Amino acid sequence: MIELEAKDGVARLTLCRPAALNALNHALTDALEHALDRVAAMDDVTVLVVAGRGRAFCAGNDIKEMAAVTPEAAAALATRHAALMDRFGRLPQVTIAAIDGYALGGGLMLAVAQDLRVASDRARFGLPEVKLGFNPGYGVARLLDVVGGGHARDLLLTGRTLHASEALRMGLVNRVVAPPTLEATIAALAADVAGAPRGGLAATKAIVAAIRAGAPGREPEHYGAALGTSAAARARLEAFAKRGKG
């Protein structure tokens, strides 16, 4: 269900249900939860790339499984998925979605749960729930934060599918590249981010998460802690100062 590998400070988590377009069934949800436990414990990993195998990033919830679910079970599964998406934001690692193909419904919300999103120009995005007679089960607040109210309502209320270029214009993704260059682009971006000390990245993620939740970001405290206790930050400052003198 999941492949997880790590090298040179970058981990890659791949959803592996290509025949089902990587749809989120109970088994894949279990696998994702266990994978995030492993990632959270990887002290030598600074960046996590999230991808899907085959022609989809993730097509959302498994429709075959949903067709037989009770209202109570549906609400419980949505609650579980909401908690899963929140966990990506709490990871100390910077997370990057590598989107090639479909990112629909819960799959789009999985992409939005990542810090950064890079898509190939054959990626397609949408929230088709309203066309099926129900609403997204989670992630609406995060979507509003990423793309703004007007664009979010467009996605939520029309159920239409977006081309990657339109997703870029509305800010749903950060970059769009040709399919053959997606992996190289992701690798270069991940390596660039992983080159920064992990402490500063984790603190910045924590600040953003706090502000988004309506709490103080406590930027001065994080800033002071980094300068006072981070050997990596201190070493880089000293090296920068020496270059300036030269």
The CATH number of residue 88's host domain is 3.90.226.10
In the sheet that holds 124-126, the strands lie side by side as 56-58, 102-104, 124-126, 161-163
Q: Which domain holds residue 216?
A: 198-245
Q: What residue has token string 């930027």?
A: 219
Do 170 and 206 fall within a single domain? Answer: no
pLDDT band per the 50, 70, 90 thresholds, residue 246: low
Same domain as 135, residue 163: yes
For residues 167 and 239, state if they share a domain.
no
Do residues 97 and 163 both lie within one domain?
yes
Has 129 been annotated as catalytic? yes
Catalytic residue among 5, 33, 129, 221: 129
Least confident window among 35-49, 153-167, 169-183, 220-234? 220-234
Q: In which residue are the tokens 């970058």 written? A: 10
Name the pLDDT band for 23 (thresholds 50, 70, 90): very high
212 and 178 in a single domain? The answer is no
Q: 72 and 171 share a domain?
A: yes
Q: Are the CB atoms for 31 and 1 separated by under 8 Å?
A: yes
Same domain for 159 and 230, yes or no, is no
Binning pLDDT at 50, 70 and 90, where does residue 3 land?
very high
For the residues 96-100, what does the mean pLDDT come to? Answer: 98
Residues 152 and 139: beta-carbon distance below 8 Å = no
Average pLDDT, the chain: 93
59 and 181 share one domain: yes
- What CA–CA distances, in Å, run from 165 to 44, 119, 122, 161, 169? 35, 9, 9, 12, 6
Same domain, yes or no: 62 and 24: yes
With CA atoms as reference, report the closest residue to 56 among 28, 89, 98, 27: 98
Query: End of a domain among 194, 210, 226?
Result: 194
Identify which has the larger pLDDT, 245 or 175.
Answer: 175
DSSP conformational letter for 61: B
pLDDT for 226 equals 79
- What's phi and psi for 113, nearest 5 deg? -70, -15
Question: Number of folded domains in the chain?
Answer: 2
